[in-house]
Amino acid sequence: MASTSIVSDSESGNAVEIDLQTRINEITIGFNDVYLSDFFSEEYLPSASAVKRSSKLDFNTAIPPSFLPRIPITLGFKRNQYENGGELFEITNQLSMSAHGFAMTNNLTHQQLTDQQATANGNFQLSTNVDQVRLRSTIGYALKPNSELTNLALTLDPGQYKDYRLSFGINHSLQQDVTEYSATANKLLGKYSLSFGARYNTNNEINLDVRFSVGFGYEPRRKSWKQDSRTLANHGSVSARFFLDANQDGIFDEGDEPLEDISVRLNGGFNKERSDEEGILFVTGIPAHNPTNVVIAPETLIDPLWTAALEGVQIEPRPGHAIQIDFPIFTSGEIDGTVYLSKDGRENGVGRVTVELVDQNNRVISTTETAYDGFYILSNAPLGDYLVRISAAQLGILGLQSQNEESITIKGDNPYINGIDFTLEAIKPN
């Protein structure tokens, strides 16, 4: 799989990104190359040593289970070239394993920056759950320039109390011989973010932290501002409108009904927000400059006869900009009936007969086969005038004829048409 993204913005500069993904046996390989020209974003911040090119090569695989569980392995290579002529070369490795209720992860990073001594640092993490409480221990270590243990840490996450997520920790720095105790409470959802923190160490230093932040995003349809706990200025947003398109012209106009409680999926992910009484869903915090697929969440279309005229679109969000998308929803129709075979004065339902729905231009737009008892359903038929008939080609092969064809009209206020029955009989020889 390959993709290329080009960004040209008068304020944030220019960027070209090439992304390649492939798989060889059990190894997934990813390559990403980014060229930047006076470009800045949340990832590439403006500085005296701005990045002009960033290249990454990643390998992901796993050691198959044997006497040990399956062990996923990630190996990454990164090279940054800077405007000042410097370079950063980085190698990262991650090994992880889960067994007997414990999760173990080891991360190792080797860095070499121009004209500086190489460093290699890592950490080993062991975590588990005890009665809904998350316990996590970490051992930090260095391999370059010196081999040594750097710190030991233990974190306890008891979960959430009301709107706040609590965490308690102990961290001992072996290099400085200082132990620090900490407690935090974070509110990260809703209309604002609020965090409280307290830290005390064995040097008798006490730190108290209070952090408050709020983000605002502009919704262009209502010309109003949305308040959020996340920072929104560096992210993109989408204003989606869902409506029942009465005349099925794809345009929101007089007579169309806004639809409440509809949602979308962004790149396949779950989104809990739903459209309001005006049919508008304002989604914020979308990563900027990353191609994003915006697709209607099918489980939120509560009427089985609703069909999306536009299932989804791909967008490339820009910081601080809301992209407007209209999603017309069409009401479709459903026709059912039974096909009988008349023989020796008796009529019995017959299976595997092809029933066709034909439009006014004599085009077959939908077909279905009858069940064992002759019953059939033609679903998702657009509004309009149609002819329902048995396949002439199949009748010719079977040497049968149909006694009737049925003209129908599917309307928005009457989408269900029942009892369109057919009777087949053998063609009598001349």
SS3 396: helix
Quote the pLDDT of residue 8: 75
Q: Please tell me whether residues 367 and 384 are part of one structural domain.
A: yes
Q: What letters, b where the CB count within 10 A reaches 16 and e where it falls short, cover 361-380?
A: eeeeebebebbeebebebee
Radius of gyration, alpha carbons of the chain: 32
CB 174 within 8 A of CB 152: yes
Quote the pLDDT of residue 351: 95
Residues 295/2/49/116 CA torsion (nearest 10 deg)? 130
Q: Please tell me whether residues 305 and 346 are part of one structural domain.
A: no
The amino acid that residue 166 corresponds to is L
Q: Please tell me whether residues 327 and 337 are part of one structural domain.
A: no
Q: DSSP class of residue 17?
A: E
Q: Please tell me whether residues 249 and 326 are part of one structural domain.
A: yes
Task: Confirm whether 114 is domain-assigned.
Answer: no
State CA 58 to chain mean position distance.
22
Q: What does the block give as tokens for 155?
A: 């974190």
Q: Please tell me whether residues 281 and 354 are part of one structural domain.
A: no
Q: Please tell me whether residues 369 and 418 are part of one structural domain.
A: yes
**Where is the domain boundary, 280, 298, 331?**
331
Q: Please tell me whether residues 324 and 250 are part of one structural domain.
A: yes
Q: Please tell me whether residues 370 and 399 are part of one structural domain.
A: yes
Task: Confirm whether 6 is domain-assigned.
Answer: no
Task: Confirm whether 46 is domain-assigned.
Answer: no
Task: Confirm whether 160 is domain-assigned.
Answer: no
Task: Confirm whether 47 is domain-assigned.
Answer: no
Domain with 302, as residue range(s), is 237-331
Q: Please tell me whether residues 337 and 410 are part of one structural domain.
A: yes
SS3 209: strand
Task: Confirm whether 16 is domain-assigned.
Answer: no
**Where is the domain boundary, 305, 331, 357?**
331
Q: Please tell me whether residues 293 and 258 are part of one structural domain.
A: yes
State how far the Cα of 201 lies from the Cα of 350, in Å rounded to an integer: 83
Number of other residues whose CB lies within 10 A of the CB of residue 236: 24
Q: Please tell me whether residues 296 and 377 are part of one structural domain.
A: no
Q: Please tell me whether residues 421 and 354 are part of one structural domain.
A: yes
CATH code for the domain of 406: 2.60.40.10
**Where is the domain boundary, 281, 315, 331?**
331
Q: What is the mean pLDDT of each run of 10 residues along the chain (430 residues)?
A: 76 82 91 83 63 92 87 94 89 93 95 92 94 93 94 93 91 94 90 93 95 90 88 88 91 92 91 92 89 93 88 88 94 94 91 95 94 94 93 93 91 88 86
State CA 118 to chain mean position distance.
39
State how far the Cα of 212 lies from the Cα of 196, in Å rounded to an integer: 9
SS3 232: coil
Task: Confirm whether 359 is domain-assigned.
Answer: yes
Name the residue among 268, 314, 270, 323 with its Cα closest to residue 292.
314
Domain count, the chain: 2
Task: Confirm whether 169 is domain-assigned.
Answer: no
